[in-house]
């Protein structure tokens, strides 16, 4: 007897969205495990070098080696491993929000897609919130704290994707918004003119995004089911 694929949720129109959400934690775990591995690996290289050269704290080379090590683990690793994860995290958010909107617009017989709605000067979050509210009669995000974090993530994503996290190449207005985020979120820092992120900030941001998307998918499925039963 063939197994009914509906028992696996394979007929769920938002299955792909749910899978994208579900992999976020695994992705972050992989990133952080790589950070730990590279930190230990690099420290082993430094210790081997110091032992081989018989360096002591009285030698300038000893201090140079450790300075290079801490620059690597405190600046380069957080910048080039956690930064790209935040870019991917925001991409997943946009993707799922768009997919949910496409499914829900069929319920309200709306021809306009999310990408076609709203003024061009609106950010994706502004346009999406407006579309959900005015076209779908549905709340995109119910939690103000999460919405604030999403907007911060949007700004950080843009700085990372378009300027590699370097503030010196950002326009003054955008640089001002990034500096505001730095002042409001302790886990976001600027070192050597570049954005870096600590583990706690990235983990909390990922948790809020995942929770928000799971809630959105669950609420939209409920609404779609109600529409089918009418």
Please indicate, yes or no, if residue 79 is contained in any of the structural domains. yes
Query: What total of structural domains would you count in the chain?
Result: 1
Residues forming beta bridges with residue 197, ordered by sequence position: 188
Between CA 185 and CA 111 the distance in angstroms is 40
State the residue range of the domain holding 145: 21-101+113-221
CB-hemisphere CA count at 13 Å for 178?
25
Between CA 140 and CA 31 the distance in angstroms is 29
Let me know: does 201 contact 188? Beta carbons within 8 Å. Answer: yes
Please indicate, yes or no, if residue 4 is contained in any of the structural domains. no
Please indicate, yes or no, if residue 148 is contained in any of the structural domains. yes
Please indicate, yes or no, if residue 176 is contained in any of the structural domains. yes
Please indicate, yes or no, if residue 160 is contained in any of the structural domains. yes
pLDDT in tens, 199-220: 999 999 999 999 999 999 999 8
pLDDT in tens, 144-197: 999 999 999 999 999 999 999 999 999 999 999 999 999 999 999 999 999 999
pLDDT in tens, 90-135: 999 999 999 999 988 887 777 788 988 877 789 999 999 999 999 9
Question: What was the pLDDT predicted at 12?
Answer: 61
Please indicate, yes or no, if residue 117 is contained in any of the structural domains. yes
Question: What was the pLDDT predicted at 6?
Answer: 45
Task: Annotate 189-200 with b (16+ C-beta within 10 A) or e (fewer).
Answer: beeeebbbbeee
Please indicate, yes or no, if residue 132 is contained in any of the structural domains. yes
Q: Is 104 exposed, middle or buried (0-12, 13-18, 19+ CB in 10 A)?
A: buried
Please indicate, yes or no, if residue 201 is contained in any of the structural domains. yes
């Amino acid at each position: 007897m063939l197994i009914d694929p509906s028992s696996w949720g394979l007929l769920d129109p938002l299955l792909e969205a749910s899978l994208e959400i579900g992999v976020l934690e695994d992705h972050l775990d992989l990133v952080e495990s790589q950070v730990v591995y590279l930190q230990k690996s690099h420290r082993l290289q430094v210790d081997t070098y110091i032992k081989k050269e018989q360096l002591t704290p009285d030698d300038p080379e000893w201090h140079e080696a450790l300075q290079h090590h801490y620059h690597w683990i405190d600046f380069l690793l957080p910048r080039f491993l956690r930064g790209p994860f935040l870019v991917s995290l925001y991409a997943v958010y946009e993707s799922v929000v768009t997919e949910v909107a496409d499914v829900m617009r069929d319920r309200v017989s709306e021809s306009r897609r999310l990408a076609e709605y709203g003024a061009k000067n609106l950010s994706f979050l502004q346009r999406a919130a407006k579309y959900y509210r005015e076209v779908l009669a549905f709340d995109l995000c119910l939690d103000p704290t999460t919405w604030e974090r999403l907007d911060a993530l949007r700004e950080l994503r843009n700085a990372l994707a378009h300027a590699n996290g370097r503030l010196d190449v950002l326009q003054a207005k955008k640089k001002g918004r990034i500096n505001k985020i730095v002042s409001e979120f302790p886990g976001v820092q600027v070192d050597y003119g570049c954005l870096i992120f600590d583990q706690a900030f990235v983990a909390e941001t990922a948790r809020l995004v995942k929770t928000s998307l799971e809630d959105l998918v669950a609420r939209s499925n409920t609404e779609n089911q109600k529409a089918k039963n009418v």
